[in-house]
Amino acid sequence: MIAATASFFSAMRWQDVIDILINSYILFRFYVLFRGTNVLRVLVAIGFLWFFQRIATSLGLVVTSWAIQGITAFAALIIIVVFRNEIRSVLQAKNIKNIVWGLPITSVSAPVSIIADSVFDLARSHTGGLLVFPGKEDLGEMVHSGIQWDGKISKEMLMSIFWRDNPVHDGAAIISGDRVSEVGAILPLSHRNDLPSYYGTRHRAAAGLAEATDALIVVVSEERGNVALAKGQRFSVVKNREELSQEIESHLGIASRQNAFLRRRILELGAAAAVSLLFIGGVWFSFTRGLDTLVSLEIPVEYMNRDQNLEIIDTTANAVRLNLSGSGTLIKSIKPDQVRVRIDLGKAVIGHNTFSITQENVSLPPGVFLRKVDPPNLDVTMDNPVKKELPVQVDWVGKMPENLILASARLDPEKIQVVGGSKLLENIVTIYTEKVSLENITKSGKITVKPVLYPASIMIAPGSRERIIVEMEVRSVAPSVK
């Protein structure tokens, strides 16, 4: 088992590791960006669909496999169309750094210092105020007539909520996290008799809620300009901001909750990262497991970086046969344009050049490996093209009718200009025409014939005639003299 694991990891290339890490990170970023939205749920559902489709395929459930495949393809379209607003809001709300790097591990807690400052500013200006910090208990049954607010806490906002001309200034503001969730809330009044007589309705309301729940209520006295807080049966005056901050933090358990929150968030993200890594590792493994599938492809050879002054005159092969291996999935998905064989002619010289076809010459899709090349070497003959004027000769065949001879044949033009490799043209001194049969030639006249260019790399030079006119003179003769 250990040996098999070691062998598996030793077979991995560094490119595979990077491949898995990159895609795991992309998947993890998807989770970070879309967590809490419906997009992520649908993506997970698509993942499951894909997984079931693979199982259906491996079990040979043809219709099921096709159906799931269709649904999966359609689901991807649905995500883009239906959740376009959510996708847009996620992408618009975050900058590039947050999209590719940032982690949502900062906790959302009440801005205690802002609240403490605001409370003492209210006290200094003799503006009454009532703030409720819920504990673990639900306040739903105790708090009535509150107006939904859900505004982020700021000093200006708190000051304006309790401003005398504000219709909601007599009610309580409910603080949830870093937001004011409700304003103008009506709290139950306390029936205690031990409260000082100068405490008005606001103080009684604070005491009433404190008695009934585990909430912390901060009261700012309009008449005296002092700050008091109520929790449970306790009702005490707070002297300064630090004391108030300490009381609020203690009530909210900010220090300990923050740590717990961070631990939970890091665990969640760590789990997401691990799942991403496992998932992509699994996908990679399913694609690349087993290199037992072989395929043989005939691929045309491409030549690059040819000197403009040189031409390829001849090659020993125009295509090579590649034996490739890889997983069945990858081998089946190979498209012809993904496999290329290229030979760099940058260093080729006039004459014969031998090139060995190695891994460097062959580009393959990832996960597909080259096993064999046939032929392993290619001979490429290079030459620089030149023009040459060559005489044309008719290639007569067959037999003249009895007692007739072809006395003469005048060609127009007698010579033609051809273009070809200099080495090649060195050895060519005549251009022959296509074969012209003598069988049907019974009288003098003209015929038009085509020159035969061999090898095929020779071409008639631009401007030179491609047809030869042959003016023939036919004579009758007596039986031949021997």
Partner 1 sequence: MVHWIIGFLFIVSGLLSSIMNMAPESFADNGAETVPELTLAEAAMGEGLKDGLLQNQAVAFSVGLGRVICYSSFDPVPQRSFIYHNWYYRDRLSTRTRLVLMPPRWNTYSYIQLREADKGPWRVEITTEEGRLLRVLRFSITD
Q: How far is the CB of 417 from partner 1 (least distance, A)?
A: 18
Q: Which is nearer to partner 1, 283 or 390 (CB)?
A: 390
Before 455, cis peptide (omega within 30)? yes
Q: How far is the CB of 381 from partner 1 (least distance, A)?
A: 20
Closest Cα partner for 358 from 337, 344, 338?
A: 344
Q: Which is nearer to partner 1, 294 or 477 (CB)?
A: 477
Q: Which H or E run includes 46? A: helix 38-59
Query: What SS3 class is residue 315?
Result: strand
When binding is defined by CB under 8 A, the residue of 97, 136, 443, 482 that contacts partner 1 is 482
Q: Does 398 bind partner 1 (CB under 8 A)?
A: yes
Q: Which is nearer to partner 1, 269 or 400 (CB)?
A: 400
Q: Does 95 bind partner 1 (CB under 8 A)?
A: no
Q: Does 397 bind partner 1 (CB under 8 A)?
A: yes
Cα torsion through 47, 49, 52, 54, rounded to 10: -70
Q: Does 477 bind partner 1 (CB under 8 A)?
A: yes
Residues in contact with 80: Cβ distance below 8 Å, sequence separation at least 6, in sequence order:
87
d(CA 411, CA 261): 100
- Count Cα atoms within 13 angstroms, Cβ side, for 81: 5
Q: Does 445 bind partner 1 (CB under 8 A)?
A: no
φ, ψ at 477 (rounded to 5°): -135, 160
Q: Does 447 bind partner 1 (CB under 8 A)?
A: no
Interface with partner 1 in residues 353-392 (CB under 8 A): 391
Q: Does 350 bind partner 1 (CB under 8 A)?
A: no
Q: Does 468 bind partner 1 (CB under 8 A)?
A: no
Interface with partner 1 in residues 400-439 (CB under 8 A): 400, 405-409, 428-430, 432, 438
With contacts defined by CB under 8 A, how many residues of the chain interact with partner 1? 23
Q: How far is CA 406 from CA 431, 440, 444, in A?
A: 21, 12, 9
Q: Which is nearer to partner 1, 196 or 479 (CB)?
A: 479
Q: Does 443 bind partner 1 (CB under 8 A)?
A: no
Q: Which is nearer to partner 1, 90 or 400 (CB)?
A: 400
Q: How far is the CB of 312 from partner 1 (least distance, A)?
A: 24
Residue 241 near residue 115 (C-beta atoms within 8 A):
no
Q: Which is nearer to partner 1, 134 or 451 (CB)?
A: 451
C-alpha gyration radius of the chain = 46
Q: Which is nearer to partner 1, 286 or 408 (CB)?
A: 408
Expressed in angstroms, the distance from the first to the final Cα of the chain is 96
